[in-house]
Each structure stands twice: as C-alpha cells, then as structure tokens.
Amino acid sequence: MRMHRKDNLDARLAACADIMTGADLTEKNMKVAAELKNYLDLGRLFGGRPVHLEVGCGKGGFVCGMARLCPDVGFVAVEKVSNVIVTACESAKALGLENVHFVNCPAEVLPRYIPSGSVRRVYLNFSDPLPKLGYAAQRLTNPRFVEIYADLLAPGGEVWQKTDNEQFFDYSLQSFLSCGWRAKEVCRDLAAHPFAGNVVTEHERKFMSEGKKIYRAVYAR
Ligand SMILES: C[S@@+](CC[C@H](N)C(=O)[O-])C[C@H]1O[C@@H](n2cnc3c(N)ncnc32)[C@H](O)[C@@H]1O
C-alpha cells in the first residue's frame, strides 16, 4: 500500500537537514550507490563517543529514548521512508538531542555513509517480517544484510534484535548462524525475562498491549 505523502514534507525535511543525511540518491542501483562513498563525519557528530546504529527506526521513539538514556553514546538511525523519518527527526529536535543523527536511505546503502568497523552496536527493532518467500531477500536479517552489519561493526560489536514474530525470529537466528555468527542471548518472552534499560519501541508497545510475546536476541561474531 502506497503511503499518503505528508503535507509540506519537503519543507519539513529541509528543516531537519542539520540532523539528517540522505534522500539525495540519484543512483538507483543500490550496490553502486553503496560504493559512492559519502561518509558521515562521526568524529564531528559525536566527538569520539561510541556509535550505535538503529536500522529501520520508524518514527524514532526508540532512538530518541536511547539517546536520552545514554548521552555518552552517539546514535545513527536509518529509515528508508521519508514520510516516517521526518517524524523521528522532529521528535529529536523537540527533545533537543545532540547525540542522534538520521540517515534517510535503504539499509542496503549504509556502507555509503558509515565507514567499516565504526559501529559498536546495531539495533533491529520489529523489522518487517516479510513472510512471503519471494521477499526473503528484503528481510533485514537476510544474509546480505548480515554481511553489511559485519562490515560496519567494530571487533566485538553486536546486533541486538527484538521482534514479535516467532517465524521471523527463527529465520533471523538461522541467518546469523549460517553467516558464522553466534547468539549470545536468546529470549523467547521478554515480558517474562525483562532486562534493565529496555527502551520500548512504538511497535513493541502496540504488540505488548495486544498480549503478544516479544522475542529478543543478541548476536556477535
Ligand atoms: C515495522 S516498522 C518498525 C519501526 C520501529 N523500529 C519500531 O519498532 O516501532 C519497520 C521499519 O523499517 C523500515 N525499513 C524496512 N526495510 C528497510 C530498509 N531496507 N532500510 C531502511 N529501513 C527499512 C520501514 O520503512 C519501517 O519504518
């Protein structure tokens, strides 16, 4: 379903240009686009703070919550839909956060913006499960994305995943293992095994209110 384009979207995106990169891709071949390097200056943005990356940040509730909770971390949040990321950017601005930067691009293009080995942690929160077999390559835990995370992460870096979808969770586990990663933590009911500092995302709140189980894993190489 095509989303209705928000009123004044271009003006609203322009007003967020100081905290958002991207939406400027003329190259449509994503592999080629990823090679046209235009790295974020992470040192200037975050002054040497460790960098955490959220892929598919949606309206930004999680990354803004994390940025408030962890001022000693620099957060990069990626979202491919302009209509959605604009809300995340506006929230970060309203909160006066100075340790978040947004990138409006598909995850496939992340190596264009983020140097190899510069990220300490990747968050995948309630990524679209895309259950139809024909869409498996679009899942954010498909091996082609796992290889991108492997490249972006520093040695010892981790991927933290949460989802409500058991089939997608099992698929993700297999995908990371098949790429030579290990699962450091696997939790099949987050409500029964809560962990300190969990920031609830928009989708997580909705699924919890429906009584759904939340699955969580931490992957490392
Ligand atoms: C189900 S929403 C979850 C949003 C948020 N993380 C949460 O937990 O509330 C998934 C988001 O991932 C984004 N997304 C899906 N595939 C993506 C990709 N290849 N690159 C960047 N963002 C993507 C979608 O546009 C959508 O906003």
Which among 7, 24, 72, 128 is annotated as catalytic? 128
Residues with CB under 6 A from ligand 1: 56-58, 78-81, 84, 106-107, 125-128, 140, 201-204
pLDDT, position 7: 79
> Is 45-220 a CATH 3.30.70.20 domain?
no
Nearest partner of 203 among 159, 162, 160, 145, judged by Cα:
162
pLDDT, position 3: 66
Decide if 157 contacts 220 (C-beta within 8 A): yes
Q: Please list the pLDDT of the chain residue by residue as tens digits (221 residues).
A: 556 777 799 999 999 999 999 866 678 888 888 988 999 999 999 999 999 999 999 999 999 999 999 999 999 999 999 999 999 999 999 999 999 999 999 999 999 999 999 999 999 999 999 999 999 999 999 999 999 999 999 999 999 999 999 999 999 999 999 999 999 999 999 999 999 999 999 999 999 999 999 999 999 99
Fill in the amino acid letter for 80.
K
13 CA distance to ligand 1 centroid (A)?
18
1 CA distance to ligand 1 centroid (A)?
15
Hey, whose CA ends up nearest to atom 14 of ligand 1? 56
Run of H or E including 119: strand 119-125
Residue with tokens 């699962």: 183
pLDDT, position 32: 87
pTM: 0.96
pLDDT, position 169: 98
Please choose from 66, 78, 81 the residue to mutate so as to test ligand 1's pocket, defined by most ligand atoms within 8 A of CB: 81
CA distances to 1, 10, 103, 165 from 200, in Å: 26, 29, 21, 16
**Which residues contact residue 201 at a Cβ distance below 8 angstroms, ignoring those fewer than 6 apart?**
58, 61, 62, 125, 126, 162
